[in-house]
Amino acid sequence: MKPLDIPVPEHGTLTQLADDLYWARFALPFRLNHINLYVLDTPDGWCLIDTGVNDKVTADHWQALLSGPLAHQPVSSILVTHHHVDHIGYAGALSAITGAPVFASDEEAKHGHWLYNLAPEAFGAIMARTYQRYDLPPETVQRVAANGSRFRANASPIPNCLEIKAGDRIKTRAGVWQARIDKGHSDAQISLMDAERNLFLSVDFLLPRISPNISADIRNPDLDLLSYYFTYLEEMTALPADMSIFPGHDWPFCEGGKRAAALIDHHHMRLNQLEEAAKTQPLTVTSAMDVLFGRSFGDHELYFASGESRAHLTHLVTTNRLTVTQTDTGVDLYEAV
């Protein structure tokens, strides 16, 4: 994996990446403190790709772009790549400001609507039950129940979305971007590739520095998302080394095939660590988190760390390397085969 030597765009500015592609960097109020957003120049106007969270920093940043470098033509569409709040959070507000329709894959739009429409108490109850199954301490379970919806806190109302399907094409002033849909880091993320020009908007599925979070889905924690992600990564190992890759976080890079191979190794290493640890004593999600990370987390990171641990345990169960049972107190217990 090699970073491309491209300057990070400053607040209110865009960095041009190709004849039809621009990059903006927005601040996020999380430990992962920024997101990369992209803009395509199409014959109908700008196609904005992802939106940031619903807060004042994001609103000010969009205002600066819309009245600055984007001012000379209309916004014709907004494409939300997946339902994570840093990508979809400002979509409703941005659509209201620009009048542009929002596009998403069907599954991601449904997930976004489900999360937004869930009452805070209902969200808290689902999280509390999830954390109880994970064997997190009672005070953490109670806190998460009382905290309500971490999604709603960062999102404007999710708009009705027009559907994008795998294989759909976006024609720009300089090329044609083809949509693909993948499952792993989320349900059905849209990424865009212009194979002819060797350009790939990978968004959150292929990142240059951090391993994309593979988290158990709180709607269906037994779904083996890691299996889907392995399928994606295997395919990505064949990316041309000189293809420019534009991710949702950090910086543009090339040698994406090497990066995909490294991520495959990373997940296998974690799976092996957990399988070994389970031979000594049965694991819960909480003890698996200790094995993998060996440190404690604040509430925001705990969601990702526990979900990541659960996703790896689930994969070990579906590949018959561990078994899972529930204790009398409703905790999931993973044992060596």
Judge whether 77 and 100 are in contact, CB under 8 Å. yes
Judge whether 245 and 251 are in contact, CB under 8 Å. no
**Residue 333 φ then ψ, to 5°:** -120, 125
Q: Which stretch binds Zn ion (CB under 5 A): 24-32, 35-43, 83-91, 239-247?
A: 83-91
Query: Smallest distance from the beta carbon of 248 to Zn ion, in angstroms?
Result: 6
Nearer Cβ to Zn ion (135/204): 204
Residues paired with 189 in a beta bridge: 182
Query: Smallest distance from the beta carbon of 85 to Zn ion, in angstroms?
Result: 9
What are the CA-CA distances from residue 152 to residues 101, 111, 147, 182 (Å)? Answer: 21, 13, 11, 25
Query: What does the alpha-carbon distance between residue 140 and residue 296 come to, in Å, rounded to a whole number?
Result: 12
Residue holding tokens 């909480």?
286
Q: What residues contact 130, with CB distance under 8 A and at least 6 apart?
A: 216, 218, 221
Query: What does the alpha-carbon distance between residue 266 and residue 314 come to, in Å, rounded to a whole number?
Result: 17
Nearer Cβ to Zn ion (221/247): 247
Instruction: Give the residue, chosen from 61, 84, 270, 310, that forms a contact with Zn ion under the rule CB under 5 A.
Output: 84
Q: Which stretch binds Zn ion (CB under 5 A): 16-24, 80-88, 303-311, 318-326?
A: 80-88
How many chain residues touch Zn ion (CB under 5 A)? 2
Amino acid in position 203: V
Nearer Cβ to Zn ion (133/152): 152
Query: Smallest distance from the beta carbon of 165 to Zn ion, in angstroms?
Result: 20
Query: Smallest distance from the beta carbon of 202 to Zn ion, in angstroms?
Result: 11
Query: Smallest distance from the beta carbon of 204 to Zn ion, in angstroms?
Result: 4
Query: What does the alpha-carbon distance between residue 106 and residue 161 come to, in Å, rounded to a whole number?
Result: 8
Query: Site mask, Zn ion, residues 187-206, x = CB under 5 A?
Result: -----------------x--
Q: Which stretch binds Zn ion (CB under 5 A): 16-24, 81-89, 130-138, 238-246?
A: 81-89
Query: Site mask, Zn ion, residues 203-232, x = CB under 5 A?
Result: -x----------------------------
Query: Smallest distance from the beta carbon of 51 to Zn ion, in angstroms?
Result: 13
How many residues would you count in the chain?
Answer: 337
Tokens of 316: 């070990």
Residues that bind Zn ion (CB under 5 A): 84, 204
